[in-house]
Amino acid sequence: MLRLLIILMIAITYGSQAGVVYKKVMPDGSVKYSDKPFLGSKPVLIKDRSTRNNKKQTVSRSLSTSKSLIDDKEKTKSKVRPAITINSPAHGDTIRDNNGNFTIVVQPTIDKKAQYKIQLFLNNKPHGKPSQSTVYNIKNHDRGEVKIKAQLQSSSGQILATSKEAIIYLHRVSVIKAK
């Protein structure tokens, strides 16, 4: 890549006539130049400059533009937008458990190097303390509608992402004592 840019710079600097160079931005963000057209390339007109100083400025500008395209691509690759989803139970599920037990599985999407915690909410109330656990075993929960939500937090407690709320229905046997 660098070798190609140097060749392009030399061609522009020492070329005495106006000309055309063919350019293509590759899927990985690299830029390919050629003096001959190739598949997917676009022509770039190189104007004849009367002074050497102007030619250097043009090359310098195109080099900085190429570098900024590469930098933007690298920034996009390295940054993962934090998100969290509730994988199980699914929204609208009905769970039948006479003991009121069920399991919640969440999935965070975050940069692997990032430190994070997950806060689980049941019926809009925090359930336990934030932790890195992605599986929660809920025991002896009251029957009825249960609203589940999860928050992805930084190690300092800043909220990075919140899941969509999932509503499930927990059924338990009711024992009515005769009087």
The per-residue pLDDT for range 110-150, each reduced to its tens digit, is 887 788 899 999 999 999 999 988 899 999 999 899 999 99
**Chosen domain end from 32, 50, 78:** 78
- What DSSP line would sit under 118-150, residue for residue? EEEEETTEEEEEEES-SEEEE-SPPSEEEEEEE
Pair 92, 159 in one domain: yes
Rounded percentage of the chain residues whose pLDDT exceeds 90: 36
64-73: per-residue pLDDT in tens?
A: 555 555 555 5
178, part of any domain = no
**Tell me, what's the pLDDT at 55?**
47
Across 113-145, b (16+ Cβ under 10 Å) vs e yields eeebbbbbbbeeeebeebeeeeebebeebebee
Give the pair of three-digit tokens for residue 114.
């990032």
Separation between Cα atoms, residue 89 and residue 107, nearest integer Å: 12
State which residues form the domain around 53.
Answer: 2-78
Task: Take residue 137 and report the two structure tokens written for it.
Answer: 């075993």
> What global pTM score does this model have?
0.54
pLDDT at 112: 77
Say which amino acid occupies 115.
Q
* CA–CA gap between residue 139 and residue 142 (Å, rounded): 9
Q: Does the pLDDT at position 37 exceed 80?
A: yes
pLDDT tens-digit series, residues 5-32: 566 565 555 554 556 777 888 887 777 8
Q: Output the six-digit token pair for 155.
A: 């190690």
> Residue 177: inside a domain, yes or no?
no
H/E element holding 43? strand 42-46
96 & 115 share domain: yes
Domain at 137, CATH number: 2.60.40.10
Share of the chain above pLDDT 70, in %: 68
Averaged pLDDT for residues 85-99: 91
Confidence of residue 1 (pLDDT cuts 50, 70, 90): low
Distance CA 169, CA 179 (A): 30
pLDDT higher than 90, residue 86: yes
